Amino acid sequence: MSTLTFDASKLASFVSEDELAMMQPMVTVADELLRKGTGVGAAYTDWLHLPTAYDREEFSRIQAAAKKIQADSKVLVVIGIGGSYLGARAALDFLNDYFVNAYADSDRDYPQVLFVGNNISGQYLNSVLKVIGERDFSVNVISKSGTTTEPAIAFRVFKQKLEEKYGVAGARERIYATTDANKGALKSFADAEGFEKFVVPDGVGGRFSVLTAVGLLPIAVGGGDIEALLAGAAQAEGELVSAKLAENPAYQYAAYRNILYRKGYVTELLINYEPTLVQFGEWWKQLQGESEGKDGKGIFPATGNFSTDLHSFGQYIQDGRRNLFETLLRVTEPVSDVVIPEMDAEDGLGYLQGETMSYVNRTASDGTMLAHVDGGVPNMVVELEKQDAYHLGYVIYFFEVAVAISGYLNGINPFDQPGVEAYKRNMFGLLGKPGYEELTAELRARL
């Protein structure tokens, strides 16, 4: 099996071969817009060649910083929101045992990596502080500007805690700032305080940034092999280049999504059957939703964590409105397995004793897919050979290049996010931020 396979055979009753063939001219144009940099948002396409054109010197500093944090800290607190944390969190779950962050210190090979600044909950921050306790910790604050509300609040809290524990000078040695190379509040503050800095590249938007220092430092601290991660992405960069649909599975995926969308399938569920893939779905949701949801258009991204969710909203998938389709992400080789014990019991499982749970899990995924297809839900499959850093790098790049083509096929800019600012303006107005006085009065009157 190759690193990644894409299977659209279960779409036969929903999309004809002719329909896919007729997408080729549009895909060719979308490819040219992306590859030649003539499409809207081209200034934010540096991620295309990031796996092979990354800053080697900074990469070495990331590895050195990770080793230092591993040596002097039991916990790394990662402060960021959206693309500043979703990729790293997804990677660490993908690459580790499910409960690795719950292990006691004596059982851990690497620091515990905790994520904050992705909400505005005081209870959540207090819970994180309790988990840290008296253990040594460091902070990686990630923000392009340094003024985003959620991470800025969290940074104030944890900077204060560091200074209380280690003093002002000691705290500076434990703060790592990943931010803009040339401007912004965090960049200026990091320069003034002497924090070690890493760069959020100008040409890489947040949701495409997991293969930059944004994701690489936390992943490395948590024991992830970032060299293999980039190597897998580099293989994808080299292979997913043809504009011909027959030769490029990422482009096939984008084309099929576009056809289904035009037929009224406006919601896509990314399906998994492994709890360690749940956070990958959260990263994928931002990538898809923020790239495509604009101008009154776009496929709504959601996730299904099976077989768990088959016992909750599985009924809706099977028999509800026929406006959704599924993409199953699965891995061929299980990371580990369990054999179902033989015993005298009344549970009706005698026919399964001696089988592996991975066999049952895969069979469940096959049976569910067929049932959903029969129920009118189109299904595609993205399958990885192994669940390791190399294959993770490949599938990250697969979805990134696919959503870029998908956005251009739908006539939108896949690289901006204008709608994100609307809630921020209202929040600032209601909080009484200086400069928003007129909006403050208007919103409070409405409430």
Question: What count of other Cβ atoms lies within 10 Å of the Cβ of residue 189?
Answer: 17
Q: What is the torsion angle, in degrees rounded to the nearest 10, for the CA atoms of residue 390, residue 392, residue 398 and residue 399?
A: -170
Count of residues for the chain?
A: 447
Same domain for 383 and 277: yes
The answer to the question of residue 85 being in a domain is: yes
Band (147; pLDDT cuts 50, 70, 90): confident
Residue 284 in any domain: the answer is: yes
In this structure, the answer to whether residues 254 and 199 fall within a common structural domain is no
Domain boundary among 224, 240, 275: 224
Please indicate, yes or no, whether residues 205 and 243 belong to a single structural domain of this protein: no
Q: How far apart are CA 72 and CA 174, in angstroms?
A: 9
Q: Are residues 268 and 350 in the same domain?
A: yes
Q: What percentage of the chain reaches a pLDDT higher than 70?
A: 99
Domain of 135 in residue numbering reads as: 47-224
Cα–Cα distance for residue pair 64/213, rounded to 1 Å: 12
Total Cβ atoms within 10 A of residue 334: 16
- What are the C-alpha distances in Å from 375 to residues 112, 288, 421? 43, 25, 39
Query: Catalytic residue among 239, 290, 292, 400, which?
Result: 290
Strands annotated E in 242-378: 267-272, 300-305, 324-331
Q: Specify whether 176 is located in the same domain as 247.
A: no
State the Cα–Cα distance between residues 377 and 415, nearest whole angstrom: 29
State whether 216 and 234 are in the same domain: no
**Does residue 435 lie within any of the structural domains?**
no
Q: For residue 240, what is the domain's CATH number? A: 3.40.50.10490
**Residue 423 located in a structural domain:** no
Mean pLDDT of 361-371: 97
pLDDT tens-digit series, residues 130-146: 999 999 999 999 999 88
Q: 134 and 167: one domain?
A: yes
Q: Is residue 437 part of a domain?
A: no
Catalytic-residue membership of 193: no
Residues 283 and 386 in one domain: yes
pLDDT value, residue 424: 76
Please give the average per-residue pLDDT across 246-252, as a whole number.
98
Choosing from 67, 333, 424, 442, the catalytic residue is: 424
Average pLDDT value for residue range 273-287: 97
* Lowest-confidence region among 235-244, 340-349, 375-384: 340-349
Residues 300, 337, single domain; the answer is yes
Domain count, the chain: 2
Beta-carbon contacts of residue 40 (< 8 Å; ≥ 6 apart): 413, 415
d(CA 28, CA 194): 48
* pLDDT per position as a tens digit, 3-28: 999 999 999 999 999 999 999 999 99
Average pLDDT of the residues in 172-200: 96
424 in active site: yes
**Each residue's pLDDT tens digit, 152-166:** 999 999 999 999 999
pLDDT-derived band at 1 (thresholds 50, 70, 90) equals: low
Please check the confidence at residue 421 and state whether its pLDDT lies above 80. Answer: no
